[in-house]
Amino acid sequence: MPKNLSFATRVVNDYSASRPDDQYRAVIPPIYLASTFEQPTDGSAGPYGYQRSSNPTRGSVESAVAYVEGAEHALAFATGMAATATVFSSLTTGDRVLLTSSVYGGTFLLVDEFFARRGITAEFVDDFNELTEIPEDTAMVFLESPTNPTLRVTDISHVASLAKKVNAKVVVDNTFSTAYLQKPLDLGADAVVYSGTKYFGGHSDVLAGFILTNDDAWYASLKIASKALGNPLSPFDSYSILRGLKTLVIRLDRQQENAAILRDYLEHHPAVSRVLAPGWYSAKEKEIHARQSKGDGALFAFELAEGIDFHAFAKNLKLMRFAVSLGSVETLICHPASMIHENLSPEEREKAGISDRLLRLSVGIEDVHDLKADLENALSAID
Ligand SMILES: *Cc1c(COP(=O)(O)O)cnc(C)c1O
């Protein structure tokens, strides 16, 4: 196989995988639904056994995702949260984990409700970029950059170098960027997790999650954890992700292009007080993001001007769907204060920068003129 294939080529075909050996020479891997595979009777093990342990279609998507990321190992899970929960399952009572303070809501719930009660201490860090050291008893650092929904940026290499000194593992939830824009393993992270539900699937029709790592021993124990927890990805859903992955680059290119135009439009609109995109917070974050990421992605937030009610605005949108989730071909808009961060108190939301006038936009692949007109109509109707 030619070396150094571009990312846009690698998402289309997993050239690292062996060619399909079935009698029909299909160009895509078949979906093997079997829950179990016959075994040799001489006491040896066949290549596949029971589906919870391994499955050829899941193997194909794991191989494809690892190939795209440039990682040694990948594990596929039923959801993004199943992947995150499996990463956290390697912690034990007494361990400390540091997380970005505006971490994904499900992750917050997991550490705050589930793991805290099992003696794992979670501490939320407002700005990792300002840290000069990490407490010695830290077992793991779990971060997102950019964050949701305030698009704050964390210097991944900086955190990785601090974590190395105390032997803490660094895990990055890279869902918003994907390896097309940002490669945490190259920046020193020990593992990357994804909600494959978002940009990998890309069509709002499948849930999936992934863990990627170059650490052989950790991979082996995470694989056992997934088998024990019973949370791997089904063959059908593995196929959906294999299919979605092929268009990741063309979708994200178009989505980023559209997002840049809409950001620019909103920045100049009198009914919008500010637009939050990677680097908005400070020159330092802007510089970090430019250094570690190839693009601003297609997710951003904006705040309506004082006195403007988001209900009135959202009601007038005709194309954009008012729904949580992100990364799909259709544009979704949501109200983080009531739809994502409703578990936080008003004071906690205020501190996190999530006002009642903040809206988050996940930009799709539609014609940007139509999207702009949709915003224009909705904004002018409330003036
Ligand atoms: C959606 C999401 C998750 C959780 O993924 P599910 O597939 O919904 O379980 C985790 N992290 C981020 C950043 C997400 O956007």
CATH code for the domain of 258: 3.90.1150.10
**Pair (124, 92) in one structural domain:** yes
Which atom of ligand 1 lies closest to the CA of 148?
Answer: 13
Report yes or no on 343 lying in a domain. yes
pLDDT of residue 53: 95
* Residue 318 scores a pLDDT above 90: yes
Report yes or no on 295 lying in a domain. yes
Residue 108 host element (H or E): helix 105-109
pLDDT of residue 25: 85
Q: Decide if 280 contacts 272 (C-beta within 8 A).
A: no
Report yes or no on 2 lying in a domain. no
pLDDT category of residue 383 using cuts at 50, 70 and 90: low
Report yes or no on 1 lying in a domain. no
Burial annotation 24-46 (CB, 10 A radius, 16+ → b, else e): eeeeebebbeeeeeeeeeeeeee
Q: What's the 51 CA to ligand 1 centre distance in angstroms?
A: 24
Please identify which of the residues 10, 58, 183, 198 carries the catalytic annotation: 198
How far apart are the C-alpha atoms of 94 and 204, rounded to whole Å? 38
Q: Is the CB of 173 under 6 A from ligand 1?
A: yes
Task: Please tell me the total count of domains within the chain.
Answer: 2
284: its two tokens: 């330092």
Please identify which of the residues 52, 227, 243, 321 carries the catalytic annotation: 52
Write the pLDDT tens digit of every residue in 162-208.
Answer: 999 999 999 999 999 999 999 999 999 999 999 999 999 999 999 99
Q: Chain-wide mean pLDDT for the chain?
A: 95
Query: Is 67 a residue of the active site?
Result: no
Q: Find the mean pLDDT for residues 45-53.
A: 95
**Pair (226, 271) in one structural domain:** no
Q: Decide if 227 contacts 52 (C-beta within 8 A).
A: yes
How far apart are the C-alpha atoms of 260 and 297, rounded to whole Å? 9
pLDDT of residue 21: 63
How far apart are the C-alpha atoms of 239 and 233, rounded to whole Å? 10
3-state secondary structure at position 281: coil
Which of 139-153, 249-263, 333-347, 360-374 has the lowest average pLDDT? 333-347
**Pair (271, 360) in one structural domain:** yes
Which residues have CB under 8 Å from 9's CB, separation 6+?
none
**Where among 224, 243, 262 does a domain terminate?**
243
**Where among 210, 243, 276 does a domain terminate?**
243
Question: How many angstroms from the chain centroid is the CA of residue 302?
Answer: 20
Q: Is the CB of 96 under 6 A from ligand 1?
A: no
Residue with CA nearest ligand 1 atom 1: 195
Q: Decide if 156 contacts 143 (C-beta within 8 A).
A: yes
Full domain range(s) for residue 334: 248-381
Which atom of ligand 1 lies closest to the CA of 325?
Answer: 1
- What Rg, from alpha-carbon coordinates, does the chain have? 21
**Pair (214, 263) in one structural domain:** no
pLDDT of residue 18: 75
How far apart are the C-alpha atoms of 187 and 265, rounded to whole Å? 33
**Where among 196, 226, 243 does a domain terminate?**
243
CATH code for the domain of 192: 3.40.640.10
Q: What's the 81 CA to ligand 1 centre distance in angstroms?
A: 6
**Pair (235, 186) in one structural domain:** yes
Q: What's the 39 CA to ligand 1 centre distance in angstroms?
A: 37
**Pair (207, 277) in one structural domain:** no
Pocket test for ligand 1, best of 198, 210, 332 (most atoms within 8 A of CB): 198
How far apart are the C-alpha atoms of 93 and 112, rounded to whole Å? 14
Q: Is the CB of 79 under 6 A from ligand 1?
A: yes
Q: Find the mean pLDDT for residues 148-170.
A: 97
pTM over 0.85: yes
Report yes or no on 154 lying in a domain. yes
Q: Find the mean pLDDT for residues 93-109.
A: 93
Q: What's the 89 CA to ligand 1 centre distance in angstroms?
A: 17
How far apart are the C-alpha atoms of 77 and 84, rounded to whole Å? 9
**Pair (208, 101) in one structural domain:** yes
* Residue 19 scores a pLDDT above 80: no
Among residues 77, 64, 54, the alpha carbon closest in space to that of 28 is found at 64
pLDDT of residue 20: 60
Query: Is 173 a residue of the active site?
Result: yes
**Pair (286, 202) in one structural domain:** no
Q: What's the 237 CA to ligand 1 centre distance in angstroms?
A: 16
27 vs 74 pLDDT, higher one? 74
3-state secondary structure at position 4: coil
Phi then psi for 316, rounded to 5 degrees? Answer: -85, -5
**Pair (197, 234) in one structural domain:** yes
Q: Find the mean pLDDT for residues 88-93.
A: 96
pLDDT of residue 181: 98
Query: Is 52 a residue of the active site?
Result: yes
pLDDT of residue 99: 97
**Pair (254, 331) in one structural domain:** yes
Q: Decide if 100 contacts 124 (C-beta within 8 A).
A: yes
Report yes or no on 206 lying in a domain. yes
Report yes or no on 26 lying in a domain. yes
Q: How far is CA 108 from CA 89, 124, 142, 201, 231, in A?
A: 15, 9, 11, 24, 20
Which of 60-74, 130-144, 260-274, 302-316 has the lowest average pLDDT? 302-316
Q: Is the CB of 328 under 6 A from ligand 1?
A: no
**Pair (102, 178) in one structural domain:** yes
Q: Find the mean pLDDT for residues 206-223.
A: 98
Q: Around 327, how many Cα atoms within 13 Å sit in the side-chain half-sphere?
A: 26
Report yes or no on 114 lying in a domain. yes
pLDDT of residue 24: 86
Q: What is the largest CA-CA distance in the chain?
A: 78
* Residue 57 scores a pLDDT above 70: yes
Q: Find the mean pLDDT for residues 54-83.
A: 97
How far apart are the C-alpha atoms of 172 and 256, rounded to whole Å? 21
**Pair (215, 122) in one structural domain:** yes
Please identify which of the residues 48, 67, 104, 180 carries the catalytic annotation: 104
